[in-house]
Structure 1
Amino acid sequence: MTQQPPNRRALFWICVLALFTAALSNAVRAGAANAIKLAALDPIDAQHSGEMIGTVLGSSFLGFALSLLVISPLLDRIGAKRAIMVAAACYTLGPVLVLLAAGAGSSVYVLLNLAMVVWGFGWGATEASINPVTATIYADDKTGKLNNLHAWWPAGVVTGGLLSLLFFKSLDLPWQALVGLCAVPGVVLGIWASRHSFPRTESAVQGVTFGEMMAEPFKRPGFWVFFAIMFLTASTELAPGAWVDVALTQTLNAPGIIVLIYVSAIMFVMRHFAGALDRRFSDMGLLLMCTVPATAGLYLLSTASSALPALIAATLWAFGVCFMWPTMLAAVSRRYPRSGPWGIGLIGFAGALAIYFVLPELGRIYDDAKLAKAGGMAAFEALPADSPALHAALAYAAEKSFKTVAIIPVVLFFIFGAVRLTERKRKG
């Protein structure tokens, strides 16, 4: 058994802060998305502003994916401590670059995307380091501890969502003030992480060489099944989370970020029960069960036009997606331990890549639907601001985008079922 470092508790909470900061940033980006779209993108291209803000939001996931791909295989060489310090630097620099980009005139779209890539790179550096560290220091309870760690993702989302409401609704502050605030936890993270030493990963302790670690996923075809699955699970959880404010603000006539706050609060609580559920149903059994409420929740979110239906839909969606990301990481670490941080990083890369492609697609569906409902581009541009007809067009667009995503967990139901049956037959 791997010898645990004496500062295991401190390391876990550093990992928590790193993930909390990533989630806080993600929620702020989602909460400020509509304001950024109105202030920076509508003036330069109102016809495609939905797709543009979807691409801007997706660029943070591109940075996330690139960071995972670069840092994960090199984690034992550069060290988890340096990776977390890189994350802290990106969490500090990213918001600053967004603020600078917003005043760049006609270049705002390009510069916003570049700023989001840097910001998202910190998130990827976080995932590339904290998941292998947690799997190493808690090797006897990977599913439980990884879910405990990732419970702080929704906690960060709740905090970021509440800050969005406070800044925009109560204090009536500009979105720039909220984005700038995100740099503060990045500075704290860098200072705290610099004072501790981090262990080598589980695969390194077991004597797996760099070449063996890199080759492991390619020698095990089953690994790529999980890679494909993660592409879909991330699309079920994170894409709607990033899109919720742009879409549901129109259907509920209230900030859509409220739904994200509520969902995240449920996820924070539920992820603390993952270890017990894993021991009772297995990781594949747990994931299989999650697809049913996820499907129902996403479909009902697409049709919700008032608070109560939205609350019911959000509850179902929360119960459906709460275990998906961390349980997928634990499942891969358990089945392919010799792939080490590279294997975990590849799975995270699949999730990030999914969102990078899915968010712009949601934006395109949204734009096409709003124009179709209004009767064309000229008719849409002629609609008065805050008119019932404009609200109806945007609400219809939100409905179409969420119904599209609701198909994904249906596909996952059959995939998880097939994997579970195959593994049970293999065991005898």
Structure 2
Amino acid sequence: MTGITIDRKRLYYVGNLSIFMIGLGFAVRANIASNLQAEIYDKIDLANSAAMLGEALGATFTGFALTLLFGSALVDLIGMKRMLLLSALGYIAGAFGLLAASMMDVGATVETLVLVSLLLTGLGWGAVEAASNPMVAALYPEEKTHRLNILHAWWPAGIVVGGLLGVAISGFGLSWKLNMLVLMVPAVALVWLVASSTFPVTERVAAGVSYGDMFLELLRRPMFWVFWGCMYLTAAAELAPGQWVNISLSNIVGMQGILLLVYVSALMFVGRHFAGPIVARISSVGLMFVSCLAAGIGLYLLSMASSPSLAFAAATVWGLGVCWMWPTMLAIVAERYPRGGAMAMGLMGFAGGMSIQFVLPMMGSIFDSAKAEAAGGADKLATLAPDALQEAIRYASVESFQSVAIVPLLLLPVFGVIWLFDRRNGGQQAEVKTSSNTNAD
């Protein structure tokens, strides 16, 4: 459809709200993770409750990854508007499901309902990324890295708001179930805004690139798959520790880990607004090199922190490391492979989501194994005195964080080589495939 004026500013606000909603969801899951473990999974299987919780949280990332895989290929057909409406409905339905599960007797039905509810929020998360990322790339083709970083600054903003509300709910002695009602508010607002807006088509459609050419673009460009593989590791360094932080750091340094997540998220919100000037100096790949180095060091320091002050210092290093990872990886493929359309960006998100699906249960298994090792065997966990059990859990928390500290460091030679190659060839220039912004779905 042509001849329809697109309100670029309004749509950017829609994108910001959608990313804020999924950030809020991330904080809500971190807020309620310990409650789910204590009230559901500990009662089902105390020795393996952390692994079970990791699998449940991982279902969110499975839904996220699957929606990105298929939704990114379909967004050109069903439109950004319908995709964003589906995302909001996923969050509303998922929040209702978790509320229902919290009111039922613990058993197999509750376990299944929690999994389905978290999966629905994951599907909603993926639908946001499938629509909002290509939307912003189409609206601002001349400054993708900068605009995508600002867009994704609303992810940590959502975490800050959700985290602080979670702390307030806990501090006032209110039911943890109120976190689910918090999650519904931006979802309902998003339904209204999206329903009353007109959306553009993706860059790929605007440039007249066919579906076949889109897939060929990705198949014949092997470097795209190098970046795709890198996304597995950058996502693991950023998102898995963030989802695990409330459980682990509460045990390591004796503070509410969600407060640390709020602090890191505030750093990210500010930092992402400066991505444009940084990239102008060192390039997007150079930024990823520096980010991976800081993230690896920060994760290791987090595992060694023995007090709240040291934890905040280590979190500053980690937070600055992971600050630009997700949006910059998306921007790299949007700049280098615009003919890959929404599919290219969706495949990157799929890699990130599947990474967490594997890493979260792995962290949970490491946690459980270390906990059993410290106790002298899984069968002795239930017989430990409270102080001894707390020490075993603290040891397990340290081990689970150290296990992912190596992940971002593995990418240093990859990004280093690409960065040097780009510099020798005059720097990477973004490919821009645009047409008028008057196309609508």
Task: Please give the TM-score of this superposition, normalised by the length of structure 1.
Answer: 0.96
Look up the match of 2:432. Answer: none
Q: Aligned AA for 1:410?
A: L
Look up the match of 2:148. Answer: 146
Look up the match of 2:376. Answer: 375
Matched-pair contact (CA < 8 Å) for 1:5–1:137: no
Alignment of 1:110-125 (within 5 A): 110-125=112-127
Superposed displacement of residue 415, structure 1: 1.5
Look up the match of 1:267. Answer: 268
Q: Aligned AA for 2:410?
A: V
User: What CA distance in whole angstroms lies between the structure 2 residues aligned with 1:6 and 1:186?
Assistant: 23
Deviations 1:181-214 (A, max 9, x none): 2112111100111000000111111000122113
In the alignment, structure 2 segments of 5+ residues that lack a partner are: 428-441
Deviations 1:150-202 (A, max 9, x none): 0010000011110110111x221222121232112111100111000000111
User: What CA distance in whole angstroms lies between the structure 2 residues aligned with 1:162 and 1:318?
Assistant: 18
User: What CA distance in whole angstroms lies between the structure 1 residues aligned with 2:6 and 2:424?
Assistant: 41
Q: Aligned AA for 1:50?
A: A
Alignment of 1:236-247 (within 5 A): 236-247=237-248
Look up the match of 1:321. Answer: 322
Superposed displacement of residue 215, structure 1: 2.7
Matched-pair contact (CA < 8 Å) for 1:232–1:408: yes
Look up the match of 1:405. Answer: 404
In structure 2, the CA distance between the partners of 1:4 and 1:269, relative to structure 1 (3 Å rule), is farther
Look up the match of 1:73. Answer: 73
Deviations 1:314-373 (A, max 9, x none): 000011000000000000011111000000000000000000110000000000001101
1:14 aligned onto 2:14: yes
Alignment of 1:150-229 (within 5 A): 150-168=152-170, 170-229=171-230
Deviates more, 1:415-424 or 1:345-354: 415-424
Alignment of 1:243-262 (within 5 A): 243-262=244-263
Superposed displacement of residue 3, structure 1: 10
Question: Could you say what secondary structure the match of 2:200 adopts?
Answer: coil
User: What CA distance in whole angstroms lies between the structure 2 residues aligned with 1:61 and 1:425?
Assistant: 38
Superposed displacement of residue 47, structure 1: 0.6
In structure 2, the CA distance between the partners of 1:374 and 1:346, relative to structure 1 (3 Å rule), is same
Superposed displacement of residue 24, structure 1: 0.2
Question: Could you say what secondary structure the match of 2:199 adopts?
Answer: coil
Look up the match of 1:88. Answer: 88
User: What CA distance in whole angstroms lies between the structure 2 residues aligned with 1:409 and 1:128?
Assistant: 25
Matched-pair contact (CA < 8 Å) for 2:300–2:402: yes
Question: Could you say what secondary structure the match of 2:107 adopts?
Answer: helix
Superposed displacement of residue 390, structure 1: 1.5
Question: Could you say what secondary structure the match of 1:140 adopts?
Answer: coil
Identity %: 44
Alignment of 1:257-406 (within 5 A): 257-384=258-385, 387-406=386-405
User: What CA distance in whole angstroms lies between the structure 2 residues aligned with 1:172 and 1:83?
Assistant: 37
Matched-pair contact (CA < 8 Å) for 1:36–1:175: no
User: What CA distance in whole angstroms lies between the structure 2 residues aligned with 1:46 and 1:259?
Assistant: 27
Task: Please give the TM-score of this superposition, normalised by the length of structure 2.
Answer: 0.94
Superposed displacement of residue 378, structure 1: 2.6
Look up the match of 2:437. Answer: none
Deviations 1:225-253 (A, max 9, x none): 01100000000000000010111111121
User: What CA distance in whole angstroms lies between the structure 2 residues aligned with 1:302 and 1:5?
Assistant: 52
Q: Aligned AA for 2:229?
A: A
User: What CA distance in whole angstroms lies between the structure 1 residues aligned with 2:3 and 2:323?
Assistant: 31
Q: Aligned AA for 2:168?
A: L
In structure 2, the CA distance between the partners of 1:421 and 1:106, relative to structure 1 (3 Å rule), is same
User: What CA distance in whole angstroms lies between the structure 2 residues aligned with 1:302 and 1:379?
Assistant: 25
User: What CA distance in whole angstroms lies between the structure 1 residues aligned with 2:57 and 2:165?
Assistant: 19
User: What CA distance in whole angstroms lies between the structure 2 residues aligned with 1:105 and 1:390?
Assistant: 24
User: What CA distance in whole angstroms lies between the structure 1 residues aligned with 2:321 and 2:327?
Assistant: 13
1:47 aligned onto 2:47: yes
Q: CA RMSD in A?
A: 1.5
In structure 2, the CA distance between the partners of 1:232 and 1:253, relative to structure 1 (3 Å rule), is same
Question: Could you say what secondary structure the match of 2:45 adopts?
Answer: helix
Matched-pair contact (CA < 8 Å) for 2:299–2:318: yes
In structure 2, the CA distance between the partners of 1:3 and 1:237, relative to structure 1 (3 Å rule), is farther
In structure 2, the CA distance between the partners of 1:401 and 1:281, relative to structure 1 (3 Å rule), is same
User: What CA distance in whole angstroms lies between the structure 2 residues aligned with 1:344 and 1:29?
Assistant: 25
Superposed displacement of residue 110, structure 1: 2.2
In structure 2, the CA distance between the partners of 1:4 and 1:19, relative to structure 1 (3 Å rule), is farther
